[in-house]
Amino acid sequence: MIIALIIVLAYLLGSIPSGLIIGKAFFGKDIREHGSGNLGGTNSFRTLGVKAGMIVTIMDILKGTAAVLLPDLFGSDLHMLIAGVAAVIGHMYPVFANFRGGKAVATSGGVLLGYVPVLFILLLVVFFVFLFLTKYVSLSSMLAGVFAFIYSVFTGDIPLIIVVGALSFFVIYRHRSNISRIKNKTEPKIKWLSFNK
């Protein structure tokens, strides 16, 4: 019973539509009607601006981190990462936003922040290196996911390997349309991360 409760709570945490809340509360916008139509951090940056985008991204990260702490909070032996996966599923398919959510990047990062912080820090570095080199947020997110999986394999932590493999799959699967646009050279590039200004 406690395990089921934790999983449901983790899913509901993940379902909190940060981008929708910030957009409607402070800008009077439903970001699903703007930009890519996605509820995640990238579309929040694009639609609401840098400050709002950062707030949404941090909120999405903390959803994953909070979820992995639930088993300890309830004194359950449920593995932390299972609760984390439930939160990521909630983020992708949120009950509070007609099951139209984000692409799993920030919340997956939050799960790793709560379970293996050093990997989260490395992922930030890897993400921004690829972002600087490619200027594609989507591609950088997917490559960071691949890095996370490779890193997890070397830890020998079987639950981490399985969950990071699943999270990396989620991230790549949710970026299917971005992959097509990258191939067609129609994917938007960021313009703010450059030394040539």
pLDDT at 197: 41
Share of the chain above pLDDT 90, in %: 79
Q: How confident is the model at residue 194 (pLDDT cuts 50, 70, 90)?
A: low
**What integer pLDDT is reported at residue 192 of this predicted model?**
60
Give me the mean pLDDT over the 88-95 stretch.
96
Percent of the chain with pLDDT over 70: 97
**pLDDT number for residue 163:** 97
What percent of the chain is helix, strand and coil (3-state, nearest 5)? Answer: 75, 0, 25
pLDDT, mean of residues 80-101: 95
Q: DSSP code of 33?
A: G
Residue range 164-179, pLDDT digits in tens: 999 999 999 999 999 9
The secondary structure element, H or E, covering residue 73 is helix 50-73
For residue 24, CA distances in Å to 4, 15, 50, 117 come to 32, 16, 16, 32
Reported confidence tier of residue 119, pLDDT bands at 50, 70, 90: very high
What are 6-58's pLDDT values in tens digits?
Answer: 999 999 999 999 999 999 999 999 898 887 778 888 889 888 988 999 999 99
Q: Which of 137, 68, 163, 62 is nearest to 106 (CA)?
A: 62
pLDDT of residue 75: 95
